[in-house]
Copies of this chain bind each other. A is one copy, B any other.
Amino acid sequence: MGREKPYYQQVRDDIREKIKQGHYRQGQYLPCEQKLEKEYGVSRTTVRSAISELVQDGYLYIVRGKGTKVAYSKLMDNNPSLLSFTEILKSHGYESQMIERTIDVIKADDNLSGKLGLQQGEEIIHIYRVRGTDNEPISVNHSYFPKKLFRGKEIPLLLEGDSMYENLQKYFHIVITEIREEIWAISAGKKYAEILDVSRQAPLLAFERESFDQEGNLIEYSEVVYRSDRYKHAVAMRKK
């Protein structure tokens, strides 16, 4: 038997479930901390620890001197704080399909060595993907990883399943904790017009993304473009 969850997590999960099931309703006050102590048979510290996480996650908010209320959050469990392509498309009701995918190893040129913080000539894994729905192309993605990160392991492992981020964690024990993105608009031009089956003037949404692990190593640099008539980028944010 696995060990049971800590009390504060049990209390947290129970309260969250009661919110989701409507037992506690939006705008309603939660029972005060003293009552929750008794209800769950735990100390006040434990209750407060549970509440604190639910406030952090946007389920509750506290009104000084009055009580703890259930939030009216529009986000509940829907905060795309760190999402892969697959997850973003799903959040739009699409299912993404892989239309084309290639993988090769290249040498760092002037541009890429700078982006990835490598010496010129160091090896880089380049993954090229065209994705879309019903064989209609929606996005073109170039991802670059320093090859030395995967020393001694099978690189095709990266391509299994849907989520490269899950694979990074599963097979290489690399966890992405920070992302920087720049977003802008471009015209398709000759190159993308052909791949995405749009006119050369068609506006595309362009992303440049850097992903870092906990120790500040740049793990991935990627460039992505989306057909703007088939994709909108959705973002939800909660203020700290």
A residues near B (Cβ < 8 Å) are: 26-27, 45, 56, 58, 61, 71-75, 81-82, 175-187, 201-206, 212, 214-217, 228, 231-240
Contacts and interface: CB of A to CB of B under 8 A. Distances in A.
A81 to B, nearest CB: 6
Contacts of A177: 238-239
A133 to B, nearest CB: 17
Contacts of A56: 56
10 contacts: A26-B216, A45-B45, A71-B216, A74-B180, A82-B238, A179-B236, A181-B236, A184-B228, A187-B202, A201-B201
A27 B56 CA distance: 26
A58 B178 CA distance: 10
A216 B185 contact: no
Nearest to A240: B81
B183 A232 contact: yes
Nearest to A177: B239
Contacts of A239: 81-82, 175-179
A200 to B, nearest CB: 9
Given A81-B239, A82-B239, A181-B236, 18 more contacts: A27-B215, A45-B45, A56-B56, A71-B214, A72-B215, A72-B217, A74-B216, A180-B234, A181-B237, A182-B233, A182-B234, A182-B235, A183-B232, A183-B234, A184-B205, A185-B203, A186-B203, A187-B202
Nearest to A218: B74
Contact of A232 (B45, B58, B182, B232): B182
A205 B185 contact: yes
A73 B213 CA distance: 9
A65 B73 CA distance: 36
A61 B214 CA distance: 8
